[in-house]
């Protein structure tokens, strides 16, 4: 199979998951942002997250999961498996994970006639804890670049390694067009999600959800103090190599894409 690491950035929204041969359902707000070089942030908030104040409940909620790392997609070469021509195999290497290390994450992706995709694989069931076959159904939002709702700009920033680090980033933030997500390897893992959307008669960046620090949700990104990292990627024009010091970490832009 041929391996691919560079591609267009992507915005993926999960529509449902089916375990074994059960019908699909969706109990999360799942958004995955992936850069052209395969770096991603995947955050899965329970749909009832707004009823869980601060840290209460999230650590033990079976639907909550957030992780980040690198993805690799392998496409079939001619003759490798001729039965289904619209298939790829993807591997997601977890570098930061709210459920801890050692999780194997890979699956076969199939294009569906409506433009969505189906992911088929095996992973741990969040309730039973047993390994189980799953099918996840993914879609992408409609794009409107003229309103700032496209795939660009795309920025990725990571924490800068210091002496004694494992070599893996302690934090990553990704912006793909109108969506921005960040994750930090704190205890518990700290995440936030911002979306550029029409509200209060204008397009603004709005905080959809956060977990970790006791920060407010449902606020707009009007001031840098609301979220310095999100302000940096969403409000400023940046380029690869730019750095920002947040006090606890230095962050560096490692990918900056203005267009295909």
Mean pLDDT within 192-208: 84
* Centroid of chain to Cα 64: 13
* Residues paired with 39 in a beta bridge: 70
| Three-state secondary structure call for residue 58 | helix
What pLDDT, on a 0 to 100 scale, did the predictor assign at position 198? 77
Confidence of residue 52 (pLDDT cuts 50, 70, 90): low
What percent of the chain clears pLDDT 90, i.e. is strictly above it?
53
Q: Which CATH architecture has domain 146-257?
A: Beta Barrel (2.40)
More confident residue, 183 or 224: 183
pLDDT of 77 reads 63
pLDDT digits (tens, 9 = 90+) for 97-155: 999 887 878 999 999 999 999 999 999 888 888 999 999 999 999 887 776 679 999 99
Instruction: Report the chain's mean pLDDT, rounded to a whole number.
Output: 85
Backbone dihedral angles phi then psi of residue 162, each to the nearest 5 degrees:
-120, 170
Common-topology check for domains 10-139 and 146-257? yes
> pLDDT tens for residues 206-239?
888 777 654 555 677 877 777 889 999 998 889 9
Which residues is 252 bridged to in the sheet? 158, 243
CA distance 254 to 198: 30
What does the DSSP 8-state code read for residue 142?
P
Q: Is the pLDDT of residue 62 over 70?
A: yes
Enter the DSSP assignment of 143. P
> What's the token pair of residue 88?
């790829």
Going by C-alpha positions, the residue among 90, 150, 96, 93 that lies closest to residue 120 is: 90
DSSP string, 80-115: S-TT-SSEEEEEEEEEEETT-S----EEEEEE-TTS
Instruction: Using alpha carbons, select from 160, 187, 17 the residue that is nearest to residue 97.
Output: 187
Confidence of residue 187 (pLDDT cuts 50, 70, 90): confident
Give the pTM: 0.90
Q: Where are the domains of the chain?
A: 10-139, 146-257
Please give the pLDDT value at position 214. 44
**56, 117, 59, 36: which is closest to 84 by C-alpha?**
117
Q: HSE, CB side, 13 Å, CA atoms: give it for residue 92.
A: 25
189 DSSP assignment: P
Hey, what CATH class is 10-139 in?
mainly beta
């Amino acid at each position: 199979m041929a391996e691919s690491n560079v591609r267009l950035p992507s915005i993926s929204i999960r529509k449902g998951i089916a375990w074994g041969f059960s019908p699909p359902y969706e109990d999360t707000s799942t958004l995955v942002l992936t850069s052209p070089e395969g770096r991603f942030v995947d955050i899965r908030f329970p749909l009832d997250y707004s009823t869980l104040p601060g840290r209460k409940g999230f650590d033990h909620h079976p639907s909550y999961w957030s992780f980040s790392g690198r993805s690799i997609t392998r496409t079939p070469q001619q003759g490798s498996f001729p039965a289904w021509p619209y298939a790829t195999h993807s591997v997601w290497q977890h570098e930061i994970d709210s459920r801890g290390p050692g999780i194997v994450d890979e699956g076969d992706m199939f294009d569906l006639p409506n433009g969505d995709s189906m992911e088929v694989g095996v992973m741990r069931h969040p309730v039973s804890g047993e390994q189980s076959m799953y099918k996840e159904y993914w879609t992408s939002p409609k794009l409107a670049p003229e309103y700032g709702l496209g795939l660009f700009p795309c920025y990725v920033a990571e924490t800068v390694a210091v002496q004694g680090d494992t070599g893996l980033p302690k934090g990553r933030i990704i912006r793909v067009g109108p969506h921005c997500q960040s994750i930090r390897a704190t205890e518990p893992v700290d995440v936030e999600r911002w979306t550029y959307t029409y509200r209060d008669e204008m397009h603004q960046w709005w905080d959809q959800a956060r977990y970790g620090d006791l920060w407010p949700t449902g606020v707009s990104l009007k001031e840098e103090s609301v979220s310095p990292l999100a302000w940096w990627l969403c409000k400023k024009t940046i380029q690869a190599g730019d750095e920002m010091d947040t006090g606890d970490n230095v962050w560096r832009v490692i990918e900056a894409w203005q267009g295909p």
